[in-house]
Amino acid sequence: MGDRVGVMERGRLVQVGTPLEVYRRPRNRFVAGFVGTPPMSFLEGGLEEAGGELCFRAGGVLLPLPPALGARVRRADPEREPCTLGVRPEAVEIARSNGGPPPGWRVDVVEHLGADSIVGVRCGESFLRGRVRPDSGLAVEHAVEVRLPAEGLHLFDRHGDALLA
């Protein structure tokens, strides 16, 4: 076992660091999808202003970015080209809908792994995996609410490079 890892893509070294550095701060989409089990979820979309907030839109999903993250993104990608939002399963917070307006997210799959469960949720073409407690009570077709904390979000530009590296 080494204390540093290198990730290669098509014969080219793209990132070197400790396993935790590579996992937490991937330099590009390839590294983000390669490192970690289950893999990072990716939503294809773009950035737009809505109500004074910078938001990420993927199909029918509009996710407001926290103000501090929005400010960093505005500096990193002022053109707001199409981009990809990456989210690790442990950063996806999933809860049963409380009966408010329809959230749009529905449970698509539940994979019980013992100490935790992986729940796949879908809204239109957008799909996210979240890690939840096995006693969450979530089942296929449940309407759910999804929350994505700022510290768990990764944005990649149209070339696949991290916007916030």
pLDDT bin (cut points 50, 70, 90) of residue 143 is very high
Strand partners, 109: 120
**How confident is the model at residue 74, as a pLDDT?**
73
Domain 93-147 in CATH 3.30.420.10: no
pLDDT tens-digit map of 26-72? 999 999 999 999 999 999 998 888 888 888 888 777 888 777 777 77
The stretch 133-148 carries a mean pLDDT of: 91
1 has a pLDDT exceeding 80: no
- DSSP 3-state percent helix, strand, coil across the chain (nearest 5): 15, 45, 40
Cα(27)–Cα(23) distance, rounded to whole angstroms?
A: 10
Query: Tokens 């103000």 correspond to what residue?
Result: 67
Q: Where are the domains of the chain?
A: 93-147
Range with the lowest mean pLDDT among 2-11, 19-28, 97-106, 127-136? 97-106
**How confident is the model at residue 116, as a pLDDT?**
93
The stretch 129-137 carries a mean pLDDT of: 93
**How confident is the model at residue 49, as a pLDDT?**
84
Query: Tokens 């530009």 correspond to what residue?
Result: 157
For residue 122, give the nearest of 139, 143, 101 by alpha carbon: 143
